[in-house]
Amino acid sequence: MKPVFPLLLSACILFSTARAQGAKELLQKVKAKYDRVDDYTATGKMKTNVVFIKAPVATIKVYYKKPDKLKIKNESGVSFIPKGSANVNMNNVLGLTDFEAVEGGTEKTGGIQCKVIRIFPLSDAENITRATLYIDESRLLVIRSVISTKENGTYELGMSYKNYAEWGLPDKVELSFNTRDYKLPKGVTIDYDNGTGKEKAGETKSKKGKVEISYTSYIINKGVPDSIFN
Amino acid sequence: MFTELLKIELYKIFKRPRTFIAFGAIAVIILLVQFALKVNGRDFVQFYTESQSDTFEIPYEKILNGYFVCVAVLHMILVHVPLLVALIAGDMISGEASLGTLRLLAGKPVTRTQLLLAKFAASTVYVVLLLAWMALFALLGSMLIFGTEDLVVFKETDMHIMKAGDVIWRFFAAFVFAALALTCIAAMALMFSVFSENSLGPIVATVCVVIVFTIVQQLRVPVFEETVNPWSFTTHMLGWKGFFYVEKNAEGATITGSIENPAALLRSGLILTGYILLFLGVSIRSFSKKDILS
Amino acid sequence: MNQVIRAEQLSKDFGDIKAVRDLSFSVGQGQVYGFLGQNGAGKSTTIRMLLTLVEPSSGTIEIFGMNLKKHRKEILRRTGAIIEKPDLYKYLTAKENLRIFSRLSAVKVSEKKIMDQLALVGLADRAESKVKTYSQGMKQRLGLATALIHDPELVILDEPANGLDPQGIADMRNLILHLSKELGKTLLVSSHLLGEMEMVADQLLIIHKGEKVVEGRVSELLNPEQSIVELVTPDTLGALAFLRQSGWAGTLKEPVNGAIRMEFNKQQIPELNRQLVEKGIPVLSLRPLNSLEDYFLSLTKR
């Protein structure tokens, strides 16, 4: 029985190395697809679903430039844009160089069988501490990602692709994030009591916020001036 | 005859210098608030959004637009306008009594009810003109100075964002509601005025009632919350703010043109109207039976 | 003569205080009706009842033959009044005040009429001045102008001479006579200035503590059959002793300021004088009190 354990161990290591290798290869393939986009300007609609914000659907423009510049602008109105929205572009994760990747099996996400890849950046300088990507292997598209950051907490992204799938650009992104409580000191706003506050007090408030962006069009690789990102 | 009486009452109101003090005071206060927000508006917005600045990009400059400034001005100023209304309405009968002209008026071929209603109508016209003046400075002025954008209204536990195109009608409705609320104050001051023979008493009494009920409302003591506050007119006077609270759909997006719980606003409007009728009823009854000895 | 005012059994209580008690009187057309009484006698309360400022506790009032309660508007339209001191809108000019009060009487008057009215009371040159710059006398005159601006048939003036200087009082007297004798208006004038009343009133009502004391024509009141006669002597005690023992005992009244007062037909004065002299009682003065003031005092001190 003695030689069995080291053998099992080395088999495991071999297997896991192979799995890590497979994960990185898959990431490389996905990155290669996404890398075809140098920049884009997208137009879309943004819905905010945060328990303490009542916002209209906003018409937005999203500007992206390689490697990691991303800006969401509400051109004609006021929106509270979550700080983690910079992560709606996958290059933040796919652009990592010094990291470990592990396969986490397969899981059905959004009706699609996906490969789960867990990514652990090795450099302390990275804002991302951990990321999990759910990849549609056949189309080389990231369907879902869960990204933990040092500064802005954990973000969850769900993406669906249609017209711009060949570029790895989603038609719809759902960004979920943690929110903090919103409460102003008593007597500051002197609200009109229309009875709605009392109903809310009974509810268990969700601490998760959600932003949904539906893109209507992309202009890809036509150049975006740096000034936009300032 | 009623129109003639109303004209006479308005003529008297607008021939008195004290009437214009209110208009001047409002213009000065609004300009001061606008200046302060022009200089230090970002801090003001920051105060409301501080807890969220880690999670969200806050568009401070866009939030600080003319509509937002107008709501801020109304929030600050409408609390004090009852005093200005009381200054005029509280003087309506008692002022004439102390001046000695009430006995001349009451000895003329007009009924006391007509006289009182004309005085009430004149107070209402004064309230409407005061609000129109306020709208001119607070809304048009702020729009000119700060421009227009979507309106963000900060409540104690949530914030409401309205599209810029969905705002003007809300201001109009809010001003109409504020007129109703201030007319209620005018009716109360007029009622006190019937019982007094000096101007100061009714003015002070009106302001004291408003202060007491406002404090009771702010204390949020459960026993008051259940008994006094639902019927206190100061609770319902804040109804103008209700036009800036929007409803959202299942997906969390605001519905353009919507009001959060319009039934509550309707109820508030009806309660205020009820108070106006009550105050007027008491005033007419007392004034008609009153022996004029001044 | 048509009756312009007819008050029947008028009473007014303010709580426990009975301001007016069972007062009945009538004012004929074209008369200057004097309403006499001391301060607090109930004159103003009665006038306020006539103008519907005060609701009578009981009694009825008819003016121009109509019930005041039922035809209030019609009656007040034909009535002009100043009540006590005429306070006007101090922040308005004389013209503006007149315009307001004419409109309140449902009459639109021309600028000319306003100026004529101001000229009548001698204020034409101050038409554009704010009332707050007026003296008390000017205010009184302007008050009269506001009472007359709508050309009323009945003019009620409560203490019109209050605050006026002697010239002002004389002007007011002339104006009252002008309104009555030349313009044919009916006037009810209340006053405590008896001398003035004597000069202008045709008919008098004397009221004391809310009650009617006497009502009648001035000429009758001043020549009563029974007169109050005042006797002044250095020997008051001796005089009193004699009078009490003689046939004069029943005529004795309460003495006033050390003077003996008696009530009898003034034709008997020479006889009394003769008897006093006979008894060796020196007489400094023995005279009938026949001015209205004397009469008034004698009545109200009863």
* CA distance, residue B160 to nearest chain A CA (Å): 5
Nearest-CA residue of chain B relative to A179?
Answer: B55
Q: With beta carbons under 8 A apart, name residues in chain C contacting B292.
A: 48, 53-54
Among B61, B161, B180, B243, the strongest candidate for a mutation testing the A interface, having the largest count of A CBs within 10 A, is B161
- Closest C-alpha to B152, from B165, B164, B135, B170: B164
For C55, the closest of B4, B12, B291 (CB atoms) is B291
Cβ-in-10-Å burial (0-12, 13-18, 19+) of C258 comes to exposed
Q: Cβ distance B269 to B75 under 8 Å?
A: no
Cβ-in-10-Å burial (0-12, 13-18, 19+) of A228 comes to middle
Kindly report the average pLDDT of chain C as a whole number: 88
Domain of B269 in residue numbering reads as 2-288
pLDDT per position as a tens digit, C147-170: 999 999 999 999 888 878 888 888
Instruction: Write the CATH number for C256.
Output: 3.30.70
Decide if pLDDT at C35 tops 80: yes
Asked casually if ipTM beats, i.e. exceeds, 0.90, the reply is no
Cβ neighbour number for residue A66 with a 10 Å cutoff? 16
**Mean pLDDT, range C48-64, rounded to an integer:** 94
B293 touches chain C (CB under 8 A): yes
Quick one: C169 and C294 in the same domain? Answer: no
For A194, the closest of B54, B75, B265 (CB atoms) is B265
DSSP letters, C245-284, are HSTTGGGB---BTTBEEEEEEGGGHHHHHHHHHHTT---S
Quick one: C89 and C131 in the same domain? Answer: yes
Q: How far apart are CA B187 and CA A214, in angstroms?
A: 54
Q: CB distance A182–B246 less than 8 Å?
A: no
Quick one: C156 and C234 in the same domain? Answer: no
DSSP letters, B68-118, are HHHHHHHHHHTTTHHHHHHHHHTTTTHHHHHHT-HHHHHTSSS-HHHHHHH
SS3 of B132-154: HHHHHHHHHHHHHHHCCCCEEEE
Contacts of B48 by beta carbon, 8 Å cutoff, 6+ apart: A184, B154, B159
Sheet holding C17-28, edge to edge: C17-28, C3-14, C58-63, C66-67
Number of domains within chain C: 2
Of C217, C242, C268, which residue sits at a domain end? Answer: C217
Domain of C291 in residue numbering reads as 226-300
Quick one: C68 and C139 in the same domain? Answer: yes
Count, residues in chain B: 294
Q: Tokens 């302001």 map to which residue? A: B207
**Mean pLDDT, range A187-193, rounded to an integer:** 84
Q: How far apart are CA A175 and CA C40, in angstroms?
A: 88
Number of domains within chain B: 1
Q: Six-digit token pair at C48?
A: 């306020």
B120 in a domain, yes or no?
A: yes
Nearest-CA residue of chain B relative to C99?
Answer: B8
Residue A202 pLDDT level (bands cut at 50, 70, 90): very low
Q: How far apart are CA B93 and CA C50, in angstroms?
A: 21
pLDDT per position as a tens digit, C210-240: 888 888 887 777 666 677 888 999 999 999 9
Quick one: C205 and C275 in the same domain? Answer: no
Q: Six-digit token pair at B292?
A: 């004029």
What is the pLDDT, as a whole number, of residue A1?
Answer: 46
Q: Cβ distance C49 to C61 under 8 Å?
A: yes
B293 in a domain, yes or no?
A: no
Collapse the DSSP code of B231 into the 3-class scheme (helix H, G, I; strand E, B; otherwise coil) and give the result: coil
Q: Six-digit token pair at B176?
A: 């109409």
What is the pLDDT, as a whole number, of residue C121?
Answer: 87
**Mean pLDDT, range C270-278, rounded to an integer:** 91
Q: CB distance C72–B109 less than 8 Å?
A: yes
Quick one: C126 and C149 in the same domain? Answer: yes
Q: Cβ distance A130 to A119 under 8 Å?
A: yes
What is the pLDDT, as a whole number, of residue A16?
Answer: 54
Kindly report the average pLDDT of chain B as a whole number: 92
For A189, the closest of B154, B229, B268 (CB atoms) is B154
Quick one: C159 and C240 in the same domain? Answer: no
Quick one: C139 and C241 in the same domain? Answer: no
pTM (2 decimals)?
0.84
List chains touching C (3+ CB pairs under 8 A). Answer: B
Of C195, C217, C239, which residue sits at a domain end? Answer: C217
Q: How far apart are CA B240 and CA A33, in angstroms?
A: 55
B217 in a domain, yes or no?
A: yes
C touches A (3+ CB pairs < 8 Å)? no
For residue C279, report the phi and psi dihedrals to the nearest 5 degrees.
-80, 0
For B109, the closest of C54, C55, C105 (CB atoms) is C105
Instruction: Write the CATH number for C157.
Output: 3.40.50.300
* CA distance, residue B16 to nearest chain C CA (Å): 7
* CA distance, residue C163 to nearest chain B CA (Å): 16
Q: Which domains does chain A have, with CATH numbers?
A: 4-229 (2.50.20)
Number of inter-chain CB pairs under 8 A, A vs B? 143
For C87, the closest of B8, B100, B111 (CB atoms) is B100
Decide if pLDDT at A10 tops 70: no
Quick one: C162 and C242 in the same domain? Answer: no
Q: Six-digit token pair at C264?
A: 């009898």
What is the pLDDT, as a whole number, of residue C46?
Answer: 94
Cβ-in-10-Å burial (0-12, 13-18, 19+) of C73 comes to middle
Among C104, C109, C132, C154, the strongest candidate for a mutation testing the B interface, having the largest count of B CBs within 10 A, is C104
What is the pLDDT, as a whole number, of residue B119?
Answer: 96
For residue B263, report the phi and psi dihedrals to the nearest 5 degrees.
-60, -35
- Exposure b/e, A197-227, CB count within 10 A at least 16 = b: eeeeeeeeeeeebbbbbbbeebebeeebeee
**Mean pLDDT, range C40-56, rounded to an integer:** 92
Distances (CA, A) of B188 to B127, B138, B194, B278, C89: 13, 26, 10, 9, 24
Quick one: C247 and C188 in the same domain? Answer: no
